Amino acid sequence: MQEIKVLYEDNHIIVVVKPASIPVQADKSGDIDMLTIIKNYIKEKYNKPGNVYLGLVHRLDRMVGGVMVFAKTSKAASRISEYIRQKNVKKRYLAIVNGTMKVGEKKVLKDYLVKNERLNMSKVVSKDTKGSKECELEYEVLRNFEYKGKKYSLVDIDLHTGRHHQIRVQFASIGHPLYGDIKYGQKINKVGQNLALFSYYLSFFHPTKDEYLEFKFMPNELDKKDDIWDVI
């Protein structure tokens, strides 16, 4: 059984750290996915016979790691999904972007995106473009640094909407594609680099208790060597 990092678990929810490169749910690649990994973990830990219920209430792109919550009951799944619709679930990301941005700079990025299903890519378009969806995020530049002779910036992101590849597209559109992003920074990144985007913070109300939960896990806490996150 594949090991997982569990940050919290009770009868209704389980909060884990999703490694980068593992899909949230089964896809055409046939690779092991988070839903299957966690179901196997629950089945083995509690010696459960038959199928294990596990509700998927939010997602992270395959190449993005970070904190995720899964529902162990349908009641929890319904309530957390409603919290998300009401924007009562808070998520923050760390990203390493190419180039030097001004340390301490705080800005809101508002754009309209259109997704190309065939290419599995999104792009920034004008407001009146057919099929476009509004997106918004707020960021703060934490620090600048060099890694293997190149200049980068570490950015803290408060994601206000959750559009397809939103963070990656918006930062590429202002000339600072994410480290390792081959789709949106193919002219500056190299094949084989890991995408430097990590969901480090997640908070929400417990679905059955009068309790507000907060979880934080930093990317440099992962057991990896020679990784760009090690420099932060």
pLDDT in tens, 77-102: 999 999 999 989 999 999 999 999 99
Distance (Å, rounded) from C-alpha 102 to C-alpha 114?
A: 29
Could you confirm whether 31 is annotated as catalytic?
no
Q: Summarize the confidence of residues 152-163 as an average pLDDT.
A: 95
Q: Which of 61, 156, 158, 227 is catalytic?
A: 61
Q: Summarize the confidence of residues 118-122 as an average pLDDT.
A: 93
Q: H-type helices in 23-130, by residue range?
A: 34-45, 74-85
Q: Summarize the confidence of residues 206-223 as an average pLDDT.
A: 93
Return the higher-pLDDT residue of 226 and 107: 107
All domains of the chain in start order, with CATH: 1-88+204-232 (3.30.2350.10), 90-195 (3.30.2350.10)
Q: Running DSSP on this structure, what letter comes out for residue 229?
A: G
What sign has the CA pseudo-torsion 201, 82, 160, 116?
A: positive
pLDDT at position 224: 67
Q: Summarize the confidence of residues 162-176 as an average pLDDT.
A: 95
Distance (Å, rounded) from C-alpha 87 to C-alpha 203?
A: 11
Unique residue bearing structure tokens 């760390």: 94
Percent of the chain with pLDDT over 90: 83
Q: H-type helices in the chain, by residue range?
A: 34-45, 74-85, 166-173
pLDDT at position 180: 94
Q: Summarize the confidence of residues 133-142 as an average pLDDT.
A: 97
